[in-house]
Every structure is written in structure tokens, then in C-alpha cells.
């Protein structure tokens, strides 16, 4: 076997482990992710799984990175071509709501679930989850600031407050979909966003 083929196969195996890990973690939490379970489900040895990551925490961090890539592809990339400011903020909210409505992750928003699991526990996993939320809140705040500067939102509008309220609306949507299976929740979230951005 050529070194190139061997490296490609290793990357393919790592990707398969990550995809399965993301699905499990989404529904059962990052702590529900065990090397033994992955090995069994993927037809690998435990050492074969560990060989790609080294330890469980490294696997959890890799899973967070992969979930971040999926979120970016599903939410940010479709909205990115929109004009900066209010237009892009509306587009971001729509792709964000759609991502939850379509059930991209089996357990709802991956990062909301991870935050609930790790928000009271110090360590690298919590730090990454916090950084992801900070980055997303920063993106919302940036577009809100652009909208204020362009006169698309009132001059006294507070971008931090707006980002807080938008996060709250979409987290409420995630809760309504996951806990209550409420089919009206996406419409309610869209109405909340529209009301807030049209105020």
C-alpha cells in the first residue's frame, strides 16, 4: 500500500469516526461519547479509535470543531452573500431558524446542548463551547452595529441587546422543538425575529 493511499484511508477513517461521534453527541451529549461504543458501531478496535485522537477529551474537541464546520456551512455560508447590516442579519436569523427546523443535528442545536452539559464545568471543552458562542454573538452584534450605522435600525439601538434577544428567541425555538416537538415553534421564532428587527 502506498503512503498516499494509507494517509487517505486514515483521513477517511477519522472522518467516519467524527461523523458518528457528532451524531451521538448531538443526541446524548459529549459525555455520552465512549471509545468502546464508537469502536463497536464502526467495527474498529478501541485502540484503533484512540489512535486517531489520543484521548476522549481530544475526541470531544475534534467533535466540537466538526460541529462548528457543519454550523458554518448550514447557517453562515448561505447568509454570507447578503448585504452587510440588516439584510444579512435577517438572512442569518432565517438560516439559523431553518437549521433547527430541518433537524441538521438529531439533538437540536449542538452548541446549546454542549453549553448545557459543560457550562458549569471548567476545562478545554467548556472553553471551546464558550468561544463558539462568543464568536456567534459577535457576528450578530457586528451586523446589528452595521445596521445601526447605516440607519437601517434606530440610532439608539443597542447591538449587544439585540444580539441577546435574537439568541434568546432561537434558543427558545430549540427548546420548543426538542422538548415539546412544537410544530408552530419555527413560525413563532420567525415572528419574534421579524417583530424585533422591524421595531
Q: Does the predicted model carry a pTM greater than 0.85?
A: yes
Write out pLDDT tens, residues 89-114.
Answer: 999 999 999 999 999 998 999 999 99
- Supply the pLDDT for residue 35: 92
How high is the mean pLDDT of the chain? 94
CA atoms of 1 and 5, how far apart (whole Å) = 7
Write out pLDDT tens, residues 63-80.
Answer: 999 999 999 999 999 999
- Supply the pLDDT for residue 95: 98
Mean of the pLDDT values across residues 140-154?
A: 97
Mean of the pLDDT values across residues 118-140?
A: 97
CA atoms of 46 and 39, how far apart (whole Å) = 5
Closest CA to 18 of 30, 6, 7, 8: 30
CA atoms of 46 and 26, how far apart (whole Å) = 21
Non-local CB neighbours of 157 within 8 Å, separated by 6+ positions: 144, 147, 148
- Supply the pLDDT for residue 2: 56
- Supply the pLDDT for residue 3: 56
Q: Answer for the pair 109, 100: CB distance below 8 angstroms, yes or no.
A: yes
- Supply the pLDDT for residue 8: 79
Mean of the pLDDT values across residues 47-61?
A: 94
- Supply the pLDDT for residue 139: 98
DSSP assignments along the chain, one per residue: --HHHHHHHHHHHHHHHHHHHHHHHHHH-GGG--HHHHHHHHT--HHHHHHHHSSHHHHHHHHHHHHHHHHIIIIIHHHTTSPTTHHHHHHHHHHHHHHHHTTSSTTS-HHHHHHHHHTTS-SHHHHHHHHHHHHHHHHHHHHHHHHHHTTSS-TT--HHHHHHHHHHHHHHHHHHHHHS--TTHHHHHHHHHHHHHH-
Closest CA to 30 of 99, 96, 91, 121: 121
Q: Higher model confidence: residue 9 or residue 124?
A: 124
Q: Higher model confidence: residue 194 or residue 9?
A: 194
Count other C-beta atoms under 10 Å from residue 63's C-beta: 26
Non-local CB neighbours of 138 within 8 Å, separated by 6+ positions: none
- Split at pLDDT 50, 70, 90, the class of 5 is low
Mean of the pLDDT values across residues 13-21?
A: 94
Predicted confidence (pLDDT) at residue 4 exceeds the cutoff of 70: no
- Split at pLDDT 50, 70, 90, the class of 7 is confident
Amino acid at each position: 500500500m502506498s503512503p498516499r493511499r494509507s494517509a487517505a484511508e486514515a483521513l477517511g477513517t477519522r472522518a467516519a469516526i467524527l461523523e458518528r461521534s457528532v451524531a451521538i453527541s448531538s443526541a446524548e451529549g459529549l459525555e455520552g461519547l465512549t471509545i468502546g461504543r464508537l469502536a463497536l458501531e464502526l467495527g474498529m478496535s478501541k485502540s484503533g479509535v484512540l489512535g486517531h485522537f489520543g484521548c476522549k477529551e481530544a475526541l470531544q474537541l475534534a467533535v466540537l470543531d466538526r460541529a462548528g464546520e457543519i454550523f458554518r456551512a448550514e447557517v453562515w455560508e448561505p447568509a454570507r452573500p447578503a448585504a452587510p447590516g440588516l439584510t444579512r442579519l435577517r438572512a442569518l436569523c432565517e438560516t439559523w431558524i431553518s437549521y433547527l427546523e430541518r433537524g441538521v443535528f438529531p439533538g437540536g442545536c449542538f452548541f446549546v446542548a454542549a453549553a448545557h452539559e459543560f457550562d458549569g464545568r471548567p476545562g478545554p471543552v467548556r472553553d471551546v463551547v464558550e468561544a463558539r458562542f462568543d464568536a456567534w454573538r459577535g457576528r450578530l452584534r457586528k451586523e446589528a452595529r452595521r445596521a445601526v450605522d447605516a440607519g437601517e435600525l434606530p440610532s439608539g439601538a443597542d447591538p449587544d441587546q439585540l444580539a441577546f434577544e435574537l439568541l434568546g428567541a432561537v434558543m427558545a425555538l430549540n427548546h420548543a422543538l426538542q422538548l415539546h416537538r412544537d410544530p408552530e415553534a419555527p413560525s413563532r421564532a420567525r415572528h419574534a425575529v421579524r417583530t424585533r428587527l422591524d421595531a
